[in-house]
Structure 1
């Protein structure tokens, strides 16, 4: 099985990290056997699997359930599970939710969204030995307040994102996802941090890339993100499409400039 230390070693050697979402055992099997380094059990399942308009309705019970399924099918990938909306409202609720995702769901790492607000939660989890992934930029759990838009376009917000990223690392985060951040800013943040930085719609300079599995297969219901790419269109199987995605990330041909903000 892939380990955090192995991922760090790969990043230090200059190898890009390929990540994809999965929400069940079957897809987890094919994603992991196709060479994906990291599986993200994202609360995006609320939109992709459950048909909601946002990720907000997803419950902790559902996240535990889907993480369990993924880990039954997962053959080799590091597995990150999202802390769902409001499960990180306090240190106590966050630790309780993280405990369930790790103990019941068998996740290898938990991910939470936000900057300064979540620093006490990150530190508390890190102190207890829970691997933590931060998430900055576009925050899907905050779309009702901030909407779906690129983060860090102006100087002030760019400086804030940089400060938040460094704060998360100092608090004990082991990895960071940057979503919909301008490519130049994502590059600078990646260069300043010592932890792996995984981008989604944030340019090619991050240490790795993550996409929603259904997006790379061209089976997303509704609008596909501009930064995504249909890898199934040029192949003859789902496994081949996933392998093409991994190859493109590793060879740094994805994302291309047209996939950047």
Structure 2
């Protein structure tokens, strides 16, 4: 890629291309993703945002607006612009459509969310959403509400495959599918699940392709061993050696002593 992906690029290929998407936590993960032609990324708006942008300069980057970080549409617009300035291409927002409509009216691309929305899981619990006809209709209606509010993309999480397919075909929004088969416009996973970076719960739709928990444990053992050896060498007097330090010749030191007497 020679330029940054845009909303227009994604919309022009809706229905004809399946995009890979990852939520990344570090610049190293972002760099690895784009090296594998994974050019749709998401991340948090933390201290890594600018570094992730630098590591993936041409990727389409959807950055999460923390749920509850804004209390009015005006605050959402202000924070949305700030996130675009920091490098976001779209602002993920799980707030109500009125917040999304305010940002969209100002040209801020917004990613909405339907299905299992973790920030609203108190209403559904952490489970598949949309298995009944009535609940499936609520998901579709929520998607159309986001479309009418002017969203650009929509995360579709843990809904039945046929429902995800219907939503994808029923809206011009770019559907980012997680845990709902292969019918959405993007196939979306978290890098932490792909890399196996934690010992906690892995959702049903997760697929671990590496075991970073074990790798990190091995690295930690090596850190401890190196630090312990450093301490032993200092205690034994074998570090530092002459090659690790600098000195001054006798004439310079004598001159320094003379100068120091003026203090």
Q: Which residue in the other structure is 1:129 paired with?
A: 107
User: Which of 94, 101, 116 lines up with 1:138 in the alignment?
Assistant: 116
User: Which of 9, 15, 39 lines up with 2:12 in the alignment?
Assistant: 9
Q: Which residue in the other structure is 2:82 paired with?
A: 100
Q: 1:211-236 CA distances to partner (integer Å, 9 max, x unpaired)? A: 00121122333121111112348xxx
Aligned residue-pair number? 208
Please say if residues 67 and 93 of structure 2, whose CA atoms lie closer than 8 Å, have aligned partners that are also in contact: no
Q: Give 1:37-186 correspondences, 5 Å limit.
A: 37-42=39-44, 63-103=45-85, 105-113=86-94, 118-186=96-164
Q: Which residue in the other structure is 2:205 paired with?
A: 227
Q: Which residue in the other structure is 2:31 paired with?
A: 29
Q: 1:64 to 1:217 in 2, by over 3 A?
A: closer
Q: 1:5-38 CA distances to partner (integer Å, 9 max, x unpaired)? A: 22222224x1101100112222111112211121
User: What displacement does 1:202 show?
Assistant: 1.2
Partners in 2 of 1:219 and 1:67 — Cα distance?
20
Q: 1:110-139 CA distances to partner (integer Å, 9 max, x unpaired)? A: 01125xxx2111111111010111111111
Normalised by the length of structure 1, the TM-score is 0.75
- Greater mean alpha carbon deviation, residues 88-97 or residues 169-178: 88-97
- For structure 1, the 5+ residue unaligned runs are 43-62, 234-261
Please say if residues 186 and 206 of structure 1, whose CA atoms lie closer than 8 Å, have aligned partners that are also in contact: yes
SS at match of 2:177: strand
Q: Which one has a bigger Cα radius of gyration? A: 2
- For structure 2, the 5+ residue unaligned runs are 212-263
RMSD: 1.7
Partners in 2 of 1:38 and 1:221 — Cα distance?
26
Normalised by the length of structure 2, the TM-score is 0.74
Q: 1:88 to 1:158 in 2, by over 3 A?
A: farther
Partners in 1 of 2:125 and 2:65 — Cα distance?
20
Larger RCO: 1 or 2 (CA < 8 Å, sep 6+)? 1
